[in-house]
Structure 1
Amino acid sequence: MEKQQVDVAIIGGGPAGLNAALVLGRARKRVVVIDEGRPRNAVTGEAHGFLTRDGIRPGDFRRIAKEEISAYPNVSFVADTAVSIAGADGQFQIATAEGLTLESKKLLFAVGMKDRPLDIPGLAEVYGKSAFVCPYCDGWELRDESLVVINKGAELLHAAPIISGWTNRFSICTNGPDELTDDQREELKQHQVSLYDSPIKSIDSNDGIVHQVVLEDGTTIPCRGIFFKPELVPGSNLPQSIGCDVTEGMIIVDDFGKTNVSGVYSAGDAASRVYQAIIAASKGAQTAAAINNELNMEAWKHVQVSQ
């Protein structure tokens, strides 16, 4: 079977990968986007904070993006999973789960992150409906409501002031030892934030809307919404398999999305701690420009050498 040859293979078709494909397509590069079609934000009904697309369904966002990108025939989409990568800068070989082989000069990992299974009884039923991970994405819909924040440790002294911008009616459940100092507990108390360290027994809800959190010590906390810290894992182990430096699951990149492996880039949630669609898209565009610049410079120098 003849290999499909492209300038850039983008692994992952979320906001970062799609915006990169748009920029590279307009730069006249041959691009393939390999995506398995299982985005992390599929659990949410709406995506927010993206100018001109506020409140859009994640599936509609991808559909519209692909329709716009289809104006550039040099960009193609493969509904598949990349399973292995060989070769080096200028000649990477990508094999997919369905047996397709692609050859690409450059690689862009836009593989995002994935949620670990949710181990709190009842949380999966409300996730994306009345339980969320980012107040910038979903805080407006829960403004002035009674909320429960599930988190622990020093990070609470960052999360609590942020949540307070949307409502001052919230309690904190640490689902076990709170991992706070006495001074940190006192700070929360001064702001009249209730703190519960008993493990969570269950989250009770109706049709995805939470109405109370039940603790193992018998305490019940009525609420209309939840913000919690998710447990995340990388969307793919391929970056590590080809030698990309990774720290705490995040691919290490420079200001232009370049990894330590020549010809390999990353953008979006896979290479960031800020998980917002508009930021992922902007990083995808920025990294695509860097890839295009590298390709153009290589072609420019090749002509000089040939002469």
Structure 2
Amino acid sequence: MRMKYDCVIIGGGPAGLSAALVLGRARKKVAVIDEGKPRNRVTGEMHGFLTRDPIAPSEFRRIAREQILAYPTVSFVADTAVSIAGTDGDFRITTAGGESYRSRKLLFAAGMKDLPLTIEGLADVYGKSAFVCPYCDGWEHRDQPLVVISSGADALHMAKLIAGWTNRFTICTNGSGDMTEAHREELSQRGIPVFDAPIRSVDSEGGIVHQVVLTDGTTVPCTGIFFRTTLVPGSDLPRAIGCEIAEAGTVVVDPFGKTNVPGVFSAGDAATRMHQAIAAASLGSMAAAAINGELSEEAWSHFTQAPH
């Protein structure tokens, strides 16, 4: 069993790194356990992060780690946490590599991960010309012909957003039957085509899509795609330790990242559906401040005056 840490952070993305920075500056002993497989590794650039727009996800992490390592109480562990036992004040974390760590507090910041993509050819363009967030990648595809793979109320929502970047887009429902007549009428009034046939394939070259092919033979030319991935939690450990989990798979937290389990916090994509790097970093910072507040209160309460 290794030394006892003030906090072990599981996940080294923007939320976990931001928390490590705050706790390091507060002189708390911290270990960041991360397997090095971030969800955004499929894309070449991050956007929307003030002072870092654009930046490669790997470069963002490199800079963050370099800055955090200026604080000697923070260490990084290239591994995966696989089990947790104990309670507030003495958690025991075991990794896939067989290492064990003890910690007073826990912060889950492992984010979410994508399930395998089922549309043929979509994985070839994901992160290159197919994206999930127009706030992150809409600017790069402004005024271009796009395909939005969605249906129902979500298709209408995506249409309203995408229209801010281009008026040249098509909705492909991929065979879903939940598009109401009201949805169709609203899209039709604005001249937005809707195709219902399932998607046979996404044709591309070098990661750049040039058309979406439907099973009825229809081809939809485009230079970009926006779609929804199916997400699952990046770690099952919050559920295993008893954290309340929302229907969307996120950990239920208060405004400062505190879960229903004493001593356990969560931040970033693991705890919110606002999947943007800058939002994750903000939530990580807030959670770290709350963790430091608890540790400081506990240290103050346990103070005993030395004899004269």
TM-score norm. by structure 2 comes to 0.98
Conserved in 1, the CA contact under 8 Å of 2:257 and 2:266?
yes
Conserved in 2, the CA contact under 8 Å of 1:4 and 1:101?
no
Q: Which residue of 2 aligns with 1:270?
A: 270
Query: Distance in 1 between the 2:134 and 2:165 partners?
Result: 8
> 1:210-269: CA deviations, max 9, x gaps?
000000001000000000011101001000000001012111001110000000000000
Query: Distance in 2 between the 1:45 and 1:233 partners?
Result: 23
Match of 1:154, SS?
A: helix
Q: Which residue of 2 aligns with 1:131?
A: 130
Match of 1:250, SS?
A: coil
Match of 2:36, SS?
A: coil
Code of the aligned partner of 1:32: A
Q: Which residue of 1 aligns with 2:242?
A: 243
Code of the aligned partner of 2:236: N
Query: Distance in 2 between the 1:217 and 1:173 partners?
Result: 13
Fraction of identical pairs, as percent: 67
Match of 2:286, SS?
A: helix
Shift of the 306–176 alpha-carbon distance from structure 1 to 2, 3 Å rule, reads farther
Gaps of 5+ in 2: none
Conserved in 1, the CA contact under 8 Å of 2:26 and 2:292?
yes
* Matches for 1:84-99 after TM superposition, within 5 Å: 84-99=83-98
Query: Distance in 2 between the 1:35 and 1:180 partners?
Result: 41
Give 1:177 shift.
2.5
Query: Distance in 2 between the 1:121 and 1:50 partners?
Result: 32
Shift of the 179–14 alpha-carbon distance from structure 1 to 2, 3 Å rule, reads same
Q: Which residue of 1 aligns with 2:202?
A: 203
Match of 1:297, SS?
A: helix
Q: Which residue of 2 aligns with 1:285?
A: 285
Query: Distance in 2 between the 1:247 and 1:50 partners?
Result: 27
Query: Distance in 1 between the 2:287 and 2:159 partners?
Result: 33
Q: Which residue of 1 aligns with 2:75?
A: 76
Query: Distance in 2 between the 1:199 and 1:205 partners?
Result: 18
Match of 1:251, SS?
A: coil
Give 1:4 shift.
2.4
Shift of the 103–224 alpha-carbon distance from structure 1 to 2, 3 Å rule, reads same
User: What count of residue pairs does the alignment treat as equivalent?
Assistant: 306
Q: Which residue of 1 aligns with 2:60?
A: 61
Q: Which residue of 1 aligns with 2:193?
A: 194
Give 1:300 shift.
0.9
Match of 2:258, SS?
A: coil
Code of the aligned partner of 2:110: V
Conserved in 1, the CA contact under 8 Å of 2:152 and 2:183?
no
Q: Which residue of 2 aligns with 1:302?
A: 302
Give 1:305 shift.
9.8
Shift of the 147–5 alpha-carbon distance from structure 1 to 2, 3 Å rule, reads same
Query: Distance in 2 between the 1:19 and 1:240 partners?
Result: 23
* Matches for 1:1-307 after TM superposition, within 5 Å: 2-248=1-247, 249-303=249-303
Code of the aligned partner of 2:86: G
Give 1:183 shift.
1.2
Code of the aligned partner of 2:85: A
Query: Distance in 2 between the 1:68 and 1:133 partners?
Result: 30
Match of 1:18, SS?
A: helix
Give 1:168 shift.
0.4
RMSD of equivalent CA atoms: 1.2
> 1:119-173: CA deviations, max 9, x gaps?
0000000000000000110001100000000011211221111010000000000
Give 1:181 shift.
1.7
Match of 2:262, SS?
A: coil
Conserved in 2, the CA contact under 8 Å of 1:11 and 1:82?
yes
> 1:178-226: CA deviations, max 9, x gaps?
4122111100101111011100000000100000000000100000000
Runs of 4 or more, structure 1, over 4 Å off, are 304-307
Query: Distance in 2 between the 1:101 and 1:253 partners?
Result: 26
Code of the aligned partner of 1:269: D
Conserved in 2, the CA contact under 8 Å of 1:253 and 1:260?
yes
